Structure formats: C-alpha cells, structure tokens
Amino acid sequence: MFAEKAPVLRGFFARRGAHDETEDLVQETYLRLLRADQAQGEAIGNPEAYLFTVALNLVREQAARRQRSPLPIEEFEQVAQQLAAEDSVEDTAARAQRGQRLQALLAELPERTRAVLVMQYRDGLSYKQIAERMGVSPHMVKKHVVRGLAHCRQALADEVEA
C-alpha cells in the first residue's frame, strides 16, 4: 500500500503547500496508520480512506503550527538583525536633517559655549578636562553647558510649536 499510495500522498501534500515537508508528512501518515491498526486490534475497514483522513489531519496540524509560530525564532532574530543593520532612506535622511539642524543651532551659540558643548558631547571630555583646556573653572564649563543646552531646547520647542 505504501508503494502504491506514496506518490498520490506526495501530490496531496504538495497541493496543500507542504513542499519542503512532503516526505516527512508521507512517512508520518503511514506511521499513524500502522499505529492505529495495531491499537485497534482489528483491521481498518477502508485503509485508503483512513490514510487520506490522517493526511488531511496532518495538513491541518501543520497549518495550526504555522499560525502559532509563523517564523521560527532563529529566522526572526536573523531578520531583526538585518533590519537593524540596514539604514533605510528615511533614517539616513532624518539623520542628515538632524545633523544640519544641530550645526545651525551650534552656530547660533557664543564661541566658548559652542566649544564646550563640542568637547563634552563629541569628544567625551569631562568638565575638569574641558576646564583645563580652556583655562577656566569646571563651574564655568558647567554654566556654558547649561546655557548651550537651554538654547538648543528652546529652539527645538519653538520649532515644535510653529
């Protein structure tokens, strides 16, 4: 029966979208048929009908599994990493616009305040390091940072309101 019905079952599964798993499903169908025959103790009345009933149930189980887990976690993580690694055109354009806006805001600041902000945020220097380079106190560096950030925040708030 296996040799006779296997090609028909392959076609049955392939028509229902189980292309990659066709052979496994054919094997599982026959395995369930054999288990049912052994469990009942008596011969199955119509083995061919039973075989296709089992096959249809396997297709339904497979569809339910796909709905519960449409994408294996490994593939999902891979896709997520690819998406995170790729910069979309919108991201690139938005980043460029933010960079231009930041340059414009920094240009509006007094020279010393601008220098302090650049050293702190771009270069990652501490207040003490900036103070030593500029010949001022760390307290004065903090004042420049506060003034510069306040100016930038206000400018951005004004843009949002406009």
pTM above 0.75, yes or no: no
Tell me the C-alpha distance between 78 and 72, whole Å.
Answer: 10
Tell me the C-alpha distance between 126 and 132, whole Å.
Answer: 10
Q: Which of 88, 116, 118, 93 is nearest to 103 (CA)?
A: 118
pLDDT tens profile 89-131: 667 777 788 778 888 888 888 989 988 988 988 888 999 999 9
The answer to whether 109 and 124 are in contact (CB under 8 A) is: no
Each domain of the chain, given as residue ranges in start order, spans: 2-77, 89-161
Fold of 89-161: Arc Repressor Mutant, subunit A (1.10.10)
Tell me the C-alpha distance between 77 and 8, whole Å.
Answer: 37
pLDDT tens profile 1-30: 777 888 888 888 888 877 778 888 888 888
